[in-house]
Structure 1
């Protein structure tokens, strides 16, 4: 999300991959519709509407399959290009500026309003925001209030940028590129690119049961290893042109596979949750022996999710490269504000949503008001942030 360019060296020239800019902008916009839908699902979110809808449950589940993986895939691809023009030291310095500074700013100023409105709605906190602010730093969420909200992505991405950096630098050296060539030779032929979903499933099946996904990092190992692998995949997919051809060849098939897998995932979620709740009420091996469907539902759910996720990622890369990579003038402006839009959007959304859910109106009207208002007001926040050198600095803008 935060790279300053996606330029590939071709001899003495550099060619920018604009499809990555498009995918980043699309992913950021989808966040508004995704987080707005969370208000109307039966699952957890900071604020909730009294009335929920299965349609929003399904919409949220569908977006969940591919959305955050897309962010990390694009970030990994961007890292390949960033290291074309930066040393390892320059890359780390840029990561600190672009990721850690906005994270600190967000925790100090943007996340407290989210926590405030959550506490007003869920535990009837009756004070003002200024009265609540000191309480934000009392304990770690969910037992306390302190958390990083949607900005967890920045910390995860910062760590992911550092952990494989030595490996990435080695792979970009002339004497190590042969390993990338061997990898591309193995996984770019025919339909073999789909085999890269197997390690994703191998991570999800044993870990997701134990670490269901609250983004604390230290107790979130399913997400940590899953997204780290996606990040590395993004780096590798743009390291060799054979992957680009493989993606183009398989993008139609990817959609054909992803659609039924996504439908299967959405259908099996309530079955798996019901079986899992039964196990949690009696967490013994004898329960699992007497209810083997608990494990089967879970395994199928993870397989549908991971293979569907990988197929959607291939399709998104393929179709964006085919139809969007040449539209550079259109994407230039939205690409420039995508990062601050991500940083501001959820605070704006929760603030608006807190008041909108109190209206006596249809669930769909509320949803669209929240989405449209969030986009408009977040855009204004981005424009205000751009106009000042200090604000540009603290949110990591160039």
Structure 2
């Protein structure tokens, strides 16, 4: 049985990712993007509000979902499914779509500067520069492999059974694990690969938050958690506004991790109470959320480049045009891709019509 609150968190965060990327392309705080178009500084506030927690929350949700998936599948079947649903799209998507944003970036940066480089070599470089949001699938596949190894060691599921005993005090104390994981296994150049914290959050989802008893605790404390998250979020934004919110100094700060942890707990508890429902809209968004996540960024970069390079409009109009264009165009592209058998398999891991 599907957990509607998990589906709603998942597609809700995908919507936040799309909104984040629109504002990120115009950011004024020095965070490198594919466009670096002129923006309005106050609009960056949204970036600070969501960046510390929304992707870590997505890993928690993925971990919970993995628990439910493995109740119906063997480890071998689970990994096979992850290869189809994550690994293949995260690699093939780079070459099918990623080159678009890579091309735009190289064009603006003048990377090749008239050098005589074979077209195929340029295409490969464009593709490698256009990984974009597909990093999430890379990390999630790695976390899935690590989970299977742990399950092999813990054959009697003792860790999961032990985690059922968590109360609100122990759940809050897990903050120290979250904070500590922010220092672990971070790649030095490609900063989105924060392996330590993302794998840890995935495992917390699997071992802690897949228990309905734990969810009931979060539902009971949802209002208090939400208030605490809002207060810590205000303090975080006040403390770091104007600074690079993707820097290690920011992401490893205790305030950043406290805000992220409280917000994740509030989201899980709030969604479990208030958004545990399904209707035609939520079903559609659930069925298309991964496609939107995979497809939106390269086309958003292209749209933003065309608007800012050729129309020369006021900055606020640029924001609106990108938002409207992405909202109209990306769902249409997703519907086309889903109907193309080979392309949908390579980019979305869909093997047959549903």
Instruction: Output the TM-score relative to the length of structure 1.
Output: 0.78
Aligned to 1:10: none
Please say if 1:181 is aligned against 2:161: yes
Q: How far off is 1:105 after superposition?
A: 1.9
Residues 235-267 of structure 1, C-alpha deviations (whole Å, 9 max, x = no match): 123432220111112221221111222222222
Q: How far off is 1:298 after superposition?
A: 4.5
Cα distance in structure 1, aligned partners of 2:298 and 2:343 = 17
- 1:64-103 matches, cutoff 5 A: 64-103=51-90
Aligned to 2:265: 314
Residues 369-393 of structure 1, C-alpha deviations (whole Å, 9 max, x = no match): 1122112211111111122222222
Aligned to 1:27: 13
Contact kept? 1:22, 1:335, Cα under 8 Å = yes
Instruction: Specify the structure having the higher radius of gyration (Cα).
Output: 1
The change in CA–CA distance for 1:157 and 1:132 in structure 2 (over 3 A counts) is same
Which stretches in structure 1 are left out of the alignment for 5+ residues?
1-14, 277-296
Contact kept? 1:46, 1:350, Cα under 8 Å = yes
Larger mean CA deviation between 231-240 and 83-92 belongs to 231-240
Please say if 1:113 is aligned against 2:100: yes
Aligned to 2:44: 57
Q: How far off is 1:299 after superposition?
A: 8.0
The change in CA–CA distance for 1:165 and 1:65 in structure 2 (over 3 A counts) is same
Please say if 1:259 is aligned against 2:257: no
Instruction: Output the TM-score relative to the length of structure 2.
Output: 0.87
Cα distance in structure 2, aligned partners of 1:107 and 1:91 = 24
Residues 288-339 of structure 1, C-alpha deviations (whole Å, 9 max, x = no match): xxxxxxxxx9489711111111111111111111122122443222211111
- 1:292-303 matches, cutoff 5 A: 298=249, 302-303=253-254
* Aligned partner of residue 164 in structure 1, secondary structure: helix
Please say if 1:336 is aligned against 2:322: no
Contact kept? 1:272, 1:301, Cα under 8 Å = no
Aligned to 1:357: 308
Cα distance in structure 2, aligned partners of 1:353 and 1:57 = 17
Larger mean CA deviation between 96-105 and 353-362 belongs to 353-362
Please say if 1:269 is aligned against 2:221: no
Aligned residue among 214, 229, 236 for 2:200? 229
Cα distance in structure 2, aligned partners of 1:57 and 1:258 = 19
Q: How far off is 1:57 after superposition?
A: 2.5
Cα distance in structure 1, aligned partners of 2:136 and 2:343 = 20
Task: Report the number of matched residues.
Answer: 344
Q: How far off is 1:162 after superposition?
A: 0.3
Cα distance in structure 2, aligned partners of 1:249 and 1:212 = 41
Residues 190-214 of structure 1, C-alpha deviations (whole Å, 9 max, x = no match): 4431111111112325777x84762
The change in CA–CA distance for 1:369 and 1:303 in structure 2 (over 3 A counts) is same
Q: How far off is 1:90 after superposition?
A: 0.4
Please say if 1:393 is aligned against 2:330: no
Aligned residue among 166, 176, 184 for 1:198? 176
Please say if 1:377 is aligned against 2:354: no
Residues 39-77 of structure 1, C-alpha deviations (whole Å, 9 max, x = no match): 21132101121x333223321121101111122111111
- 1:208-227 matches, cutoff 5 A: 211=188, 214-215=191-192, 220=193, 223-227=194-198
Contact kept? 1:265, 1:305, Cα under 8 Å = yes
The change in CA–CA distance for 1:80 and 1:207 in structure 2 (over 3 A counts) is closer
Q: How far off is 1:271 after superposition?
A: 7.9
* Aligned partner of residue 85 in structure 1, secondary structure: coil
The change in CA–CA distance for 1:273 and 1:21 in structure 2 (over 3 A counts) is closer
Please say if 1:243 is aligned against 2:229: no
Q: How far off is 1:360 after superposition?
A: 2.7
Cα distance in structure 1, aligned partners of 2:99 and 2:251 = 39
* Aligned partner of residue 397 in structure 1, secondary structure: coil
Which stretches in structure 2 are left out of the alignment for 5+ residues?
none
- Cα RMSD for the two superposed structures: 2.9
